A and B are shown apart, each in its own frame.
Chain A
Amino acid sequence: MRKRFLAAARKAIANPVLQQALDNNATRRLASRAAAFDSLPDPDAFKTEARHIRQETLAHLDQYLSAFRANLEEQGVRVYMAREAEEACRIAVDIARRSGASHVVKSKSMVSEEIGLNLAFERAGIQPVETDLGEFIVQLRGEHPGHIITPAIHLLREQVAETFAEALGMPYSTDVAAMNAAAHAALRPGFLDATVGVSGVNFGVAESGTLCLVTNEGNGRMVTTLPGVHIALMGIERLVPTLGDLAVMLQLLPRSATGQKLTSYISLMHGPGGANGPNERHLILVDNGRSALRRSELQEALLCIRCGACLNACPVFREIGGHAYGSTYPGPIGSLVSPGLFGFERYGHLTKASTLCGACREVCPVEIDFPTLLLRARHRYTREVTQPVLSRLGMRLFAWAATSPSRFKWLQRVAFLATRLLPRRAGWIRAAPFPLAAWTASRDFPPFAARTFRRRPLQAWTSAPASKDAGPPPTKDLKTPEPSPPPADLLARFAQELRSVDGQFLEAPSESAPEALLAWMHENRVHRLLMDPQVETQFPEISWALQQAGIELVRPHLDAGMDQAARKAALEAYDQVEAGLTLAAAGLADTGTIVQPGHANLASLLPRRHFALLPAKSLHPSLADWLASLQAKGLRSEPSWTLITGPSRTADIEMTLTIGVHGPAELLVVVLT
C-alpha cells in the first residue's frame, strides 16, 4: 500500500494540470476562509466552544444517540443502526427496493462513498445518480472524489467539457455556465420522477431530533423534498446536543469549508409528510469502525465535522491531491480516520505522509490536535504493522548510540568517515548511498563535521559580560486589527449581507408590496406563481392583488396518497412555473438569510426566480437568536425548515462561481415595513 501511495504521489507531482488545480484550491480556499473568519467577533473563542461541544457529544455519545433516535422516531422517522458498511448498504438497498425504485437521486455524502453505496445500488439493479455537480462529473468519468468538499477539484474545465460532450451529448463547450446548464438539464427529469432520494447529514441535533444538511446547489433540497422516500445517512458521531450548539457549528462549517458565512441552503429536517415533502424519511446511522475509534487513542479525530479545511491547508495535499491517498478521506483528517476506521494494515502508512507542520491544526474549526494524533497513530502503526527491517534496525542502532555519549561520539565519527569521500560541490554532498540517497536525489546534503561541537574547546563558556545589551523595541505589529462592529440597524445589515450573496433586496410597506412585486414580475415576464399557502393566509390582500393583475397562482401540493406517476406529473407541472412566492418565517440579519418552513419548500426551490416576503418584525440578529427564540419544540412544529442565503450556486468546475444550479438563480426578498 505504501508503495502504491508513493507511486501515486509521484504521478500527481508530475501532472501539471493537477498541480495548477491544487495550487488554486489552496490559495483561494485559504484566503476566503481567512476573510470569512475575520467576520467573527472572536474566532478562537468560537473554535474552542465548538471543540467543547463536540467533546461533550463524544463523551456521552450513547446518551445523545438514544435521545436523538427517540426524538426522530417520535416524529415518524425510521431509524436504523448499521454496524458495518455492508449492513448500511443492505438497509438502504432494501428500502429502495421496497419503494420500487429504478434509480435513486443522491446529494453529496462522504459516508455513502465510505460504505460503497453506489456499487451496492448498482449490484441491486438500481441506478444511483449523483446530483452534486462535482460528484456528477466524477461519476460520469468513473472516478472518485478528489476532495471531500470539491469532488472535481482535480479536473480542468476542458476535461469536464469533454466528459459532458461525450456523456450528455452537449456540444463541446468550456463555458462553465453552459456546462452547469447542461448538468441542470440532464439531472432535472431524474429529480422529478425519483422515488427515492439519498442524502448525507452534516449535523444531527439530539434535543430536537433535527437532521441538518448544508448545501449550495439546491440538489440536496431536491433529493430530500421531491422523492416520496428520503434516506439519510450519517456517521454516528455527527451529533450535537442542542440547537444552540448547532448554531455555533453552523458559524464554523461553511466558513471553514468554502469561506461562506452560511451556505445558500441549510435544511433542518424532521418527520416526513406535509404537502411539500417526502412521505417517508429513513435515517441510517453508520458505525463502521467509529465505536472502535472512539475507544482508541485517536478518539479526537471523531470531533471532525468534515469541512475540508485541513486538506486545503496541508502542504502535502497541495502536492499530491486527494486520489493519491487511496481512501475516501484524504489529507490530514484522512491520515487519521482511514487507518482508524479501515485498519492500519491498509492505511497505516498514511500516518507518515505528513511533516507534522501543524497547518491543519491551525485551521481546524474544532481544534483537532493533528500533529499529536498523527504521532500516536504512527506509534500504533509501528506496533501493529511490521516495519521494514532496515528502518527498525536503524532506529534501534541510533537509540543505542544516543543513550551513551561515548557511543554517540563513535556514531558521529562513523558518519563523518563514511561520508568523507562522497562527491561534493562547494563543500556539500551531491550524491550519497542509502539512507541518504533519497535526500541527495534532489537536494545537497551538508558534510558531517570533522570536529563536532562537543569536541571544540569553547572559550568564555561561563564568563559573562556585565551589561545586558538593550536594543530598540520591536516595531512590527503582527496582529491584524479588530473587524469593524456590525451596523446597529438590523434591516440595513440584512440588506447588505443579502446583496453580498447576490440576493436582491426591496423594502416596501405592506400596502404597496403588490405594486412592487407586480412591477418586478412584469419586468421578468412572470405570469404564473408557485405559491406558499402562508402568503394567502397571512396576506390575502397581496394574493388578491396578484390575481386581479392576471397572475395565475399555482398551489403546490404533494399528497401522501399520490402514486409515483401522480407525484411525478404534479412535480413536472410545478417545475414549469416561472417564479415562486413565499412568506419567510424569519430573517437573519448577520448573514442575509431568510428562513422558510417546509410548506414553502417547492415554491422556494423549483422555479428559477424566488420572491420572498419578509415582515420586518421577523428579523433576528443571527441564527443563534432565531433558534433560541424557537427552542426545540418550536422547531419541531414544522417537518422541515430551510435557511436560504442567496440564490443557489456552485463552484465545482475550476472553482468558477455560477449562480443558479438546481435551486433558483434569482432571489428577491421584499421586506414589509
Chain B
Amino acid sequence: MKVQLLITCLLDSLFPETGEAVVRVLNRAGLGVEFPPGQTCCGQPAFNAGFWDEARAMAWHTIQVFAGREGPVVVPSGSCTAMIRHGYLELFAGDPEKLNAAQALAGRTYELSEFLVDEIQIAGLPGRYEAHLAYHPSCHLLRGLGVERQPLQLLQAMEGLHLEMLSPECCGFGGVFSVDHAPISAEMARRKVEEIERLSVEGVVAGDISCLMQIEGALRRSGSDARCAHLASVLAMQPLGLR
C-alpha cells in the first residue's frame, strides 16, 4: 500500500530529521510513501488567526495538491489533521463545490498513529528505546480527534521504554497565541515544565511537533536537561531532542 505524506510546514522547515523518521516508520509498517512536492502549509495559522480568506487560499492549494493522487493521506500531527478534517469543512461551508473536494480529502486524511493502529491494524513496531519518557496528550490529538489509545499502544510496544502520562492540560502553544499572548503562553509552558521536572523523566513524547517545540523551548530556557521527541522519532529510535 502507498500513502501520501503531508509532512506539515513545521517538520519541513524546522525539523526535517523528524520528517525522515516519519518516512522510516511508515516504511517499517510496510507502506510506500509519496511526498507530493507541491505541498506547503495546510492554512491552520491563518484559519486560527481569523484570516479566513488567506486560510481558504492555502486550504484550496492543499486540496488540489492531493486531489490527483491516490491513497490515504497521512499527517504526523494532530492539529494539522484536525484542520483538514474539521477546519476545511468550516472554511468551505458556503461553497458546495469546494466543500465536496474538502470532504473528499478529509475522508482520507489520518493522523500517523491513528492510521497505523486503526487503519492498517499495526499492534506495534518492534524496537528498543531505553528511556524514561512522559507522554503529552496534545489538545488537538486528544480532544480534537479523540486519539490517545493509538500512540500509547505504539509506544508501549517499544522495549525499554518506561512511559508516564502528563496531564491533558494545554502546553500553551496555541499557534499565534504563543506570540500574541506570549506572557500567558509562557506561564502555561512553565506549568508543563514543572510537571515534567516533578516526574523526573528524561523527556517528553507527543504526536504534535508544535507543542513539543513550545515544551522543549521552555525546558531549554529553564535550564532543564529534559528534551522532547516526536512520536515518529521514538518509533524510529532517533535520539531525544527535537534538533
Contact = CB atoms under 8 A, between A and B. Distances in A.
B143 A439 contact: no
Interface in A472-524: 472-476, 478
B182 A439 contact: yes
Contacts of A9: 181, 183-184
- Give the interface centre of A10, A398, A426 by most chain B CB atoms within 10 Å: A398
A464 B179 contact: no
A93 to B, nearest CB: 40
Given A443-B214, A449-B16, A408 B40 contact: yes
A469 B24 CA distance: 13
Interface stretch (B102-110, B150-158, B199-207): B150-158
Interface string B109-144: 000000000001011111000000000000110011
B69 interface: no
A353 to B, nearest CB: 6
Given A402-B61, A405-B37, A428-B217, A453 B144 contact: no
A465 B55 CA distance: 38
B143 A357 contact: yes
Interface string A444-483: 1111110111101010111111111111111110100000
A461 B144 contact: no
A615 B79 CA distance: 58
A441 interface: yes
A34 B181 CA distance: 30
A375 B124 contact: no
B186 A473 contact: no
Contacts, number: 265
Contacts of A353: 181, 184
A66 interface: no
Interface majority SS (helix, strand, loop, mixed), chain B: helix
Contacts of B40: 401-405, 408
A396 interface: yes
A20 interface: no
Contacts of B88: none
A471 B123 contact: yes
A461 B170 contact: no
Nearest to B58: A402
A315 interface: yes
Contact of A464 (B15, B27, B185): B27
Interface stretch (A214-222, A358-366, A633-641): A358-366
Contact of A382 (B37, B49, B170, B243): B49
A315 B61 CA distance: 34
A516 B121 CA distance: 67
Contacts of B183: 6, 9-10, 13, 442
Nearest to A381: B50
Interface in A360-376: 361-362, 371-372, 375-376
A566 interface: no
B86 A372 contact: yes
Nearest to B168: A359
Contact of A475 (B13, B61, B156, B243): B156
Contacts of A113: none
A399 B177 contact: no
Contacts of A466: 30
Interface in B8-25: 9, 11-16, 19-20, 23-24
A354 B31 CA distance: 38
A403 B65 CA distance: 10
Given A362-B143, A439-B179, A468-B122, A415 B54 contact: no
B7 interface: yes
Interface string A299-339: 00000000000000001100110000000000000000000
Nearest to A352: B180
Contact of B50 (A6, A379, A425, A469): A379
B173 A355 contact: yes
B169 interface: yes
A435 interface: yes
Contacts of A361: 143
- Give the interface centre of A10, A351, A399 by most chain B CB atoms within 10 Å: A399
A454 B50 CA distance: 28
B28 interface: yes
A9 B172 CA distance: 14
B143 A438 contact: no
A64 B189 CA distance: 47
Contacts of B177: 352, 354-355
A358 B153 contact: no
A319 B126 contact: no
B33 A402 contact: no
A475 B158 CA distance: 12
A395 B46 contact: yes
A453 B184 contact: no
B57 interface: yes
8 contacts: A382-B52, A399-B46, A402-B40, A405-B37, A453-B19, A454-B37, A458-B20, A470-B124
Given A399-B53, A428-B243, A447-B243, 7 more contacts: A13-B187, A319-B188, A354-B174, A354-B177, A408-B41, A469-B126, A471-B124
Interface of A: 6, 9-10, 13, 315-316, 319-320, 351-359, 361-362, 371-372, 375-376, 378-383, 391-392, 395-396, 398-399, 401-405, 408, 412, 415, 425-428, 435-436, 438-439, 441-449, 451-454, 456, 458, 460-476, 478
